[in-house]
Chain A
């Protein structure tokens, strides 16, 4: 494992080696300038977008690409707004036509209140888009079986949610995320629900290959600082995972040696003394 760290520990998706395991969404930032600065300090290489109609009443509000072009990023447009596989495929094709790569984050919301993903439609869209040559990263529920099916369908990575999008509730089912990470043959990217740096570190410690965040950075009081916090947390979580956490034990085991304690300092107090203290 130390060798892996020395080799730079790259994450490979769709044949592309990435040195950053933090993916950053670009929505809801207070301004393009703040977004840009947050992107810089986050070190993120993969950034997500949505595909929307041009506002014909304000065409001078150019697409946000103008603020991030020439950054050498990998563009990961999403299919948000799609309610089924057909709509997701349509959005994916439109996104590819922009000429900025062929990665696509399949995102099909089944419920407007929770925005939880529709696993069935997500699977259908993934199958079709893989056949069309896309590098498909489906956002899905934290269901190990759904993730396995997506992997079988040819997904380049699977992206289970920690909690519903934008809630900041953290990882609601660490057991499931851990299981998905353990069984997956493709990178697992925890997407949605992350609220703070601690959640991002936890995702990595559970074995995730990467974390995708947007709202917790964009809506933080100080988005730029939070972008840096997320970067550090993802690195820390990754290292912690690679280094291997100790098993949990019920009782204490001293970190300092029991031998060589100078006379007179006393040993561990006896039960009777503590009770009287």
Chain B
């Protein structure tokens, strides 16, 4: 547990998502954007190549003060003084990895059910991954566990951090957070973006909004998910006016449409915001 510290945005490498850009530039962009946990995952590289990448990322993450783990390879992790490893359900068993790495290094475990989560917690995992929440190209063929498992993990896994993973983007992050996640992991949404830094900022903004909404409301139960301009957002707002105010739009010249019908601004205060509502806020932009 020595090297473990809490985090919010966990980013995993995925070089196949950024042909033409180096691993270093993409991961550094993610770190600049606020990623505060980084994992090297490369199922295709030779061990020697993996070692070189791990060395580079170790140096980079250290300069940002961010924990760094290597997927699947305790020997590589030790060789570059990584903070630990991340293991799948079919990788080296946790106890074996622990005996190699010692008590201080981080061991994270991927879990796909609450049973696996309990087991990992019992065996001394330092954190777990919970997913894939949505279908993802990173793990083709694996059925998504949906946000239902996120909600279970949020209710039960209290002694170690869990991070939601799998197909998470800034647009659907709200749903995952509303289900109870407080940490998010992204791969393709970040490293496959032309601007990984901006995507990280947006994901962190989602996490921030959700924690503010929880703090403002009576607790997670008071949160409802609504879709605003195409983004799922957990909110404690009871009226359209409150939602607009939370988004910083109440005083702006914007037009609101809820569930397909325009709501005149004078009625925002008296218009209740039902769970699942679809809201559009539009305004004038330059155009011909």
Contact = CB atoms under 8 A, between A and B. Distances in A.
Contacts of A27: 285-288
A49 B287 contact: yes
A54 B281 contact: yes
A56 B286 contact: no
Contacts of A52: 282-285
A73 B276 CA distance: 39
B140 interface: no
Nearest to B260: A90
A63 B288 contact: no
Size class of the B contact interface (CB-based, 8 Å): 20 to 34
Interface stretch (B94-102, B121-129, B157-165, B228-236): B228-236
B249 interface: yes
A104 B252 CA distance: 22
Interface in A113-168: 165-166
A54 B287 contact: no
Nearest to A51: B282
B248 interface: yes
B111 to A, nearest CB: 31
Contact of B282 (A35, A53, A166, A214): A53
A59 B249 contact: yes
* Most chain B CB inside 10 Å of its own CB: which residue of A53, A64, A166: A53
Interface stretch (A6-14, A91-99, A180-188, A241-249): A91-99
B148 interface: no
Nearest to B228: A56
Interface string B267-288: 0000000000000111111111
Contacts of A64: 284-286
Size class of the A contact interface (CB-based, 8 Å): 35 or more
A31 to B, nearest CB: 11
Interface in A1-60: 25-29, 35, 48-54, 56-57, 59-60
Nearest to A81: B287
A48 B285 CA distance: 9
Given A53-B230, A54-B249, A94-B255, A29 B281 contact: no
* Most chain B CB inside 10 Å of its own CB: which residue of A57, A78, A100: A57
Nearest to B264: A97
* Most chain A CB inside 10 Å of its own CB: which residue of B229, B253, B283: B283
* Most chain A CB inside 10 Å of its own CB: which residue of B228, B282, B287: B287
Contacts of B282: 51-54, 94
Contacts of A99: 253
Interface of B: 170, 202, 205, 228-231, 247-249, 252-255, 257, 262, 264, 280-288
12 contacts: A48-B287, A51-B282, A52-B282, A52-B285, A56-B228, A56-B229, A65-B253, A65-B283, A80-B287, A94-B255, A97-B255, A97-B264
